[in-house]
Amino acid sequence: MSQAGFTLPVSAPANSGNGSSTVGFWTEALAQNAASAMYNVPMSVNLGGMGRRSLIRAIECITDENFGPEFNFFASKNGFTTNPDTDKFISRFGFVSSMGEQLGGSGLWRYYIDGLAIPYFDSDTESAPTGQIVPTYTPQTLHVVLQNISATAKAANAGGAAGRVHATFWLEFMQGW
């Protein structure tokens, strides 16, 4: 059962890291069909048992370039693998480049979609110490890999204006485990 109206934006501060750390911007170059490293975006609150499961309801993406950003969601920070037995892929959503809009015909490209119901579960949030029946919870983390699904390559950001991708994910948290 979802909790109507309990939807929170999940986004990291701009330029707070790269690679497999917390990020606000993806800054690496991505050729056609290339994927980024795993990005682990922590939630701002520890919801305990509430929040291990959620639905991704909307995605906002702001970029310097018009390309096809696709977001792939995983259940674990170590879930993006080449082995089907250990890969923790959950779901994905991709924007085609024609979904991007520039206000006034110049500047940043903006992508937005709502009405989604992408199931999400972070398997890294619960642990039961040896001999302890009641599990302990850590704040849920959104594990995301960005892929370029456009025929256009995404440039690397070298401290200039090009090559940045910022995303905010709106999650509706669900009660229970």
pLDDT digits (tens, 9 = 90+) for 129-149: 666 666 666 667 888 999 998
Provide mean pLDDT across the span 146-164: 76
Whether the CA torsion 35, 121, 168, 112 is positive or negative: it is positive
Provide mean pLDDT across the span 22-34: 75
pLDDT at 29: 86
pLDDT at 142: 87
The token pair that represents 55 in the structure block: 């639905």
Helix, strand, or coil (residue 103): helix
Give the domain CATH number at 82. 2.60.120
Is a pLDDT exceeding 50 seen at residue 150? yes
| Position 9 confidence tier, pLDDT thresholds 50, 70, 90 | confident
Higher-confidence position of 76 and 12 = 76
- Provide the total of helices (H) and of strands (E) in the chain, helices listed first: 0, 11
Domain containing residue 119: 2-128+135-174
pTM given for the model = 0.81
Is a pLDDT exceeding 90 seen at residue 100? yes
Provide mean pLDDT across the span 16-36: 66
| First vs last C-alpha separation in the chain | 11
Q: Supply the Cα-derived Rg of the chain in whole angstroms.
A: 17
Provide mean pLDDT across the span 62-76: 90
pLDDT at 18: 40
| DSSP bridge pairs for 149 | none
Domains in the chain, number: 1
How far, CA to CA in Å, does 74 sit from each of 87, 90, 102, 122, 124? 8, 5, 30, 8, 11
pLDDT at 37: 83
Nearest to 100 by CA among 139, 150, 54: 150
Provide mean pLDDT across the span 153-176: 76
Give DSSP secondary structure letters for the chain: -EEEEEEEEE-PPTTS--TTS--SEE-S-B-TT-B---EEEE-SS--TTTTSEEEEEEEEEEESS---EEEEEESSTT---S-TTT--EEEEEE--GGG-B-GGGSS-EEEEEEEEEEEEE-TTSEE--TT-SS-EE---EEEEEEEE-SSSPBPPPSSSSSS-EEEEEEEEEES--
Share of the chain above pLDDT 90, in %: 29
Is a pLDDT exceeding 90 seen at residue 15? no
Higher-confidence position of 50 and 89 = 89
Distance CA 156, CA 142 (A): 23
Is a pLDDT exceeding 90 seen at residue 74? yes
